[in-house]
Structure formats: C-alpha cells, structure tokens
Homo-oligomer: A and B are copies of this chain.
Amino acid sequence: MCAQKNIRVGVIGAGRIGKIHATNLATRIAGAEVAAIADVNLQAARELAEKLHVSNVYSDFQQIMNDDSIDAVAICSSTDTHASLMVEAAKAGKHIFCEKPISQNLATIDKAIEAVEKAGVKCQIGFNRRFDPNFKKVRQLVQEGKIGDLHILRITSRDPAPPPPSYVKLSGGMFLDMTIHDFDMARYLSGSEVVEVYAAGGVLVDPAIGEAGDIDTALITLKFANGAIGTIDNSRKAVYGYDQRVEVFGSGGMVSVSNNLPNTSVYSSADGVVSEKPLYFFLERYMDSFIAEMQDFVDVVIKDSPTPVTALDGRKPVVIAMAAKKSLDENRPVRLTEIEP
C-alpha cells in the first residue's frame, strides 16, 4: 500500500478550520502527511503541531514555501490572505488547497487564478458541502437524469446562532460569508450557471446585525441558464439547530435531503412524539465532508487528475453574491452581466 510516498502538506493557519484540516491530514487522509504548520500565532501552531507529532512549526508561512520537500499547502488562514498565499504557493510550485472565499474582490481573485494557471499546479477551493453524502446523492440523481429537466431548486440554509456583530462587520456581508456556500451548491446541484438574482431580506434576528450593516434573514431567487428557477432561504438563527436541506424538482421527479441527526431515536409519550434536533452546527454536520474533500485533493495530486472544485468554482459564487447584494440594495432582479459585462 505504501510504495507510494506520502504527499507532504504544509498547513497555513492553525485556527478552527486549520485544526480540522491538519488533524484530518495527520490521522484520516490516506497518502498524506502534515509536513509543517505555520501560523502568525506561533503558539497556536506549536500546540497543534505537538498534538499531531509534526516537527516543523513556523510563524512565517514563507518557510513552508521554501521547503522543497513539501508538495502542497492547505491555506486555512484569514480570508484576506487567501489570494496572496495562493500566488506565493503557485510561484513555489506547490499544489493548493484553499479555504473559501478566495477573496471578496474579483480582481484579486483573478490574479490568484492567473498565478495558479501559469504555474500549472493543482488548486482546489474548500467548498466542502459538495462532499457531503446527502448533497452528493442529489447531484448524482440529477446527473443520471433521474430528475429529468430541472425546473425548481430549493435550498434551505439556516445557522443555529448568529456570529458576533464584530465578526459581521468584517465578514463581507451574509451573502459573501454564509450564502456563498449555497450559491456554490446551486451551481453544483443544477449543473447550470446562475444568470440572474433577486434577493429579499432583512434584519429579523438581531438589530445589532443591522447596526453592523448586514442582514440576517434572506430569500433569494435564482434564474439559471438552462431555464430553471431556484430559491435559497437563509437565517442566521434557527433555534432548533443547523438546518441544511435541499430539494431539486424536475420533469422526471424530485429528490430532497433533510438534516442529519445525532441518533434515530423517537420518543412517544403522552406529550407527543419527539425526535432529535439536527446536528448543531457545521463542525458536527460536515465533519465527514471535510475529510472527503481533503482525501479528494490528495488523490488529485497523487493521480494528477483535475480538481473537483476549481479556482473558477471559487470565483463564480462571489459574483453571484455581489449580484445578490446589488439586488437587495436596489430591490430589483440583477443579471450577473451587470457585475461583469
């Protein structure tokens, strides 16, 4: 099994998502190992490295770029550093796994994509939900033609609790921060491109979110190139937990997926019939998909095959998010060609 040398991955960023990817690479991903961990917060990097028995720990990511024994990087640092790290990694000839979004700025994204293409390295963006078994099954049924022609797509995506207003201010707004996953999902499931967006929304959960300049509840209508229509509903707060459902309807039938539960228990008493609430949030809900996306990335590097989520896939939801924001501001449908002609 191990004639093949492991892919050596440098993890940049030892925060929440960095910990997840580093741990998975160290213990769950076949064919890979963590070669180094870098974080401007050296202490965080050290703690993670120690736990995972990783020897190379740096405060400066450049040491990873300079290490010729390292095949790939996992960019898990803050969003504003993603694009420049992609450029650096591309220059260093390292394959790239980068967390979403690449950037909140299209020109910046384009530079990163250009660098990746020029270097000819693999680049995969962290839209992990594509690797969730529920959504994969929906995609599969669509691809197999079981749904027929797509008519209506419905995505429900609601968080269990809103982020703090301080986070909201830097987040780029709900569409870029939260709905971006749903925009990617819409493209992934439909197999078609969004051409027009209409967004309705407001501040219904917490006035502090409004004061931070954002909304917390939204209903977005999508029109696709293939004629289908779609709707996304978002809330920053579902008191019953993380609500992640999808429904795809077409000429041949419908497929829907519902939430994952911690167990299948159903308790019947004089007061009613009670089942479990959904898994609380993305760490619980999507852990399997974090593993699956990284395994896919490592396999792509090993086999020199195309990445399942390209840098362009990382760019398109940003355009949709921008159109959604414009639609909300102007209360009218906005075509994506208005964002970039």
Contacts and interface: CB of A to CB of B under 8 A. Distances in A.
A239 interface: yes
Interface string A228-271: 11110101011110010000010111111111101111111110
Contact of A141 (B219, B254, B267): B267
A200 interface: yes
Given A134-B263, A229-B219, A275 B272 contact: yes
A175 B228 CA distance: 19
Contact of A333 (B133, B255, B332): B332
B253 A249 contact: no
A333 to B, nearest CB: 6
Contact of A231 (B149, B231, B259): B231
B231 A254 contact: no
Given A268-B240, A277-B273, A331-B333, A228 B204 contact: yes
A265 B134 contact: yes
A197 to B, nearest CB: 10
A50 interface: yes
A191 interface: no
B272 A276 contact: yes
A205 interface: yes
